[in-house]
Structure 1
Amino acid sequence: MKKSAATPAKTAPILEVSGLRLERGQTVILDDIAWRVARGQHWVILGPNGCGKTSLLRALTGYISPTSGDVSVLGHTYGECDWRDLRLQIGIVTTSLQASIPPAEPAIETVISGKYAQLDLWIKNTRADETAALKLLRFAGIGHLARREWLYLSQGERQRILIARALMANPRLLILDEPCSGLDPVAREHFLAFIEKLARRRACPALVLVTHHVEEITPAITHALVLRAGKIIAQGPLATALTGKTLSASFDSPIRLTRRANRLGLQFTGRGKNSVF
């Protein structure tokens, strides 16, 4: 009988990946991934399309089985305990969830559904659940939208609701998979300000931001993981792992990393193998 993962190990890292390899047919998708997220750290994962970001996320959440290697959450390893309990420790916000939300579902019910890891919630709401969900919606700056149906929410409002939904389960790790996708520039800046507010929250889980855009990295992000062709080419504290050199290697194009007013930017400095210009 597999042991429960309900009780976290207090001294264990939030997440630990060792020797992770993923093969499908003759294709190696992830190759010897070793990564550790400690308490108090917030990470960004960067890399070009096809570098393995999505496959890594699916392995972290138990939706795909690696060829070899281990994934541990709070000291509990997939395959050695109930993976359903483990997955509850990891919240994920991705636009792919949006298609599964019923159009007529009020925002507060979408948030409550996160507690039960259930889409299209059919469980009757309790007063305690509604109070907790409303508190999270207010923290996200959208408490006034609690009764608004999913169909009539903007993209930015939906992303905030999905973050509140993930927080409803009190996860120890929160993955934000390209959360600014589809947002206009003004909505993106408002959303990034909310992410920064979330990261500074005392009870905030460890964050993992997955993005193509360095300008979406807020000051609260402490560490970076840079991928290329299924391999890690740099990882560690943001200032040392995220450089023009590592980004140039990842995207196979000459890039200069700029910093201005606590925000990062990129300058393309010439032609690389992947250039379409």
Structure 2
Amino acid sequence: MEKSSAITINRLTVAYDARPVLWNITASLPKGQLSAIIGPNGAGKSTLIKSMVDFIKPITGTVSFQTDGKNSQSYQEVKDRLAYVPQNTTVDWDFPTTVMDVVLMGRYGKLGWFKRPKKKDREIAKQMLMKVGLPTFADRQISQLSGGQRQRVFLARALAQEADIYIMDEPLSGVDMKTERIIMKLLRELVNEGKSVVVVHHDLQTVEEYFDYVLLINQEVVGAGPVETTFTEELINETYHQDRNLGEVSRSDV
């Protein structure tokens, strides 16, 4: 794996009920950059990042990571150095827990699940709530939050992990412009600190403004590279308008 890569995907194929959703995906996502994964609904964007974090097992292929100067590590070897933010719609927001409890979950990788958070962990959690603009929400039930507030809480949880690599599934979906700007400012700050950030993204209008690197997929890799050379009209059209014919899948994003 190249030193400049944070994540390397090699010949990854994923299927649901024997129907391919991702086919022979090979790509490298660069270290220390803000990368977007884009493609139409049903392209397999969420499936790809779930495969990265071992939520879905591929039929073939591997995903490896580079953190702390070490190459070709598996997810299990780096999971305490990797933060994952799921889609808003996959979370049970009626679960009775507070904002502070959610953010403290980001500390469990360092604590271990059966150890109580210490004063230092609570201070870090408070700092991250301050960063996302919700310092007075610590005791509020998550069920009482708006969509944008919920997304910021999950970002605070990820920040509390103090990870090297951040993988986020549509963190800007359904949020207002204020929240979108807060999130992107924080993600840019992470990159400026040398962290690697990978985001499933849906708004083509903001790709050039927000991201350094882009991976275009529609069940297969259509293009990958720096935004200024890869986010072209030709590749966008190929990504969104070519029928991949890899089998019937749900057209909601998988």
TM-score bin, normalised by smaller chain: 0.7 to 0.9
CA–CA separation in structure 1 for the residues paired with 2:148 and 2:194 = 20
Q: Does 1:197 align with 2:180?
A: no
Residue 220 (structure 2) aligned to one of 216, 227, 231: 231
What SS does structure 2 have at the residue aligned with 1:250?
helix
- Note if contact 1:70-1:77 (Cα within 8 Å) is conserved in structure 2: no
Is 1:213 the counterpart of 2:191? The answer is no
Q: Which SS does the other structure have where 1:115 is aligned?
A: helix
What RMSD, in angstroms, separates the aligned Cα atoms of the two structures? 2.7
> What is the aligned counterpart of 2:140 among 148, 170, 179?
148
2:95 aligned partner: 102
Match of 1:60 among 52, 59, 62: 52
**Closer, same or farther: CA 208–178 of 1 in aligned 2, 3 Å:** same
Find the counterpart in structure 2 of residue 44 from structure 1. 36
- TM-aligned CA deviation for residue 236 of structure 1: 0.3
* 1:123 to 1:102, Cα distance in 2 relative to 1, 3 A: farther
Quick one: percent identity of the two aligned structures? 24
Q: Contact 1:76/1:86 (CA < 8 Å) preserved in 2? A: no
Q: Counterpart in 1 of 2:245?
A: none
| TM-score w.r.t. length of structure 1 | 0.75
* CA-CA distance at 1:232 after TM superposition: 0.7
Structure 2 spans left out of the alignment, 5+ residues: 243-250
- Gaps in structure 1 of 5+ consecutive residues: 1-8, 254-273
Asked if 1:13 corresponds to 2:5, the answer is yes
Q: How has the CA–CA distance of structure 1 residues 163 and 53 changed in structure 2, closer, same or farther, with 3 Å as cutoff? A: same
Report how far residue 130 of structure 1 moved: 0.8
1:199 to partner: Cα distance: 2.8
Q: Tell me, what secondary structure is at the counterpart of 2:28?
A: strand
AA matched with 2:95: P
The alpha carbon displacement at 1:235 in A equals 0.8
After the TM superposition, which residues 68-217 of structure 1 pair with which residues of structure 2 at under 5 Å, given as runs? 68-74=60-66, 75-78=71-74, 83-94=75-86, 95-99=88-92, 102-103=95-96, 105-116=97-108, 124-183=116-175, 187=176, 189-201=177-189, 202-203=192-193, 205-217=195-207
Which segment drifts farther, 153-162 or 240-249? 240-249
Q: Secondary structure at the match of 1:99?
A: coil
The normalised TM-score by structure 2 is 0.82
1:12–1:212 CA distance, 2 compared to 1 (3 A): closer
Asked if the contact 2:152–2:183 (Cα under 8 Å) also holds between the matched residues in 1, the reply is: no
Give the 3-state SS of the residue equivalent to 2:209 in structure 1. coil
Q: Cα deviation per residue 1:39-91 (whole Å; 9 max; x = unaligned)?
A: 2211111111111112111110011221222210112443xxxx444333322
1:36, distance to aligned residue in structure 2 (A)? 1.1
Q: CA deviation at 1:225?
A: 0.7
CA contact (8 A) 1:62 1:87 kept: no
Alignment deviations for residues 136-178 of structure 1 (CA, whole Å, 9 cap, x no partner): 1111111121222212111111101101101211222212211
Residue 117 of structure 1 deviates from its aligned partner by 5.3
Counterpart position of 2:248:
none
Q: How far apart, in 1, do the equivalents of 2:101 and 2:226 lie?
A: 38
> Offset at 1:20?
1.4
* Contact 1:196 1:219 (8 Å CA) reproduced: no
**Structure-2 change in CA distance of 1:125 and 1:89 (3 Å):** closer
CA 134–10 in structure 1, closer or farther in 2 if over 3 Å, else same: farther
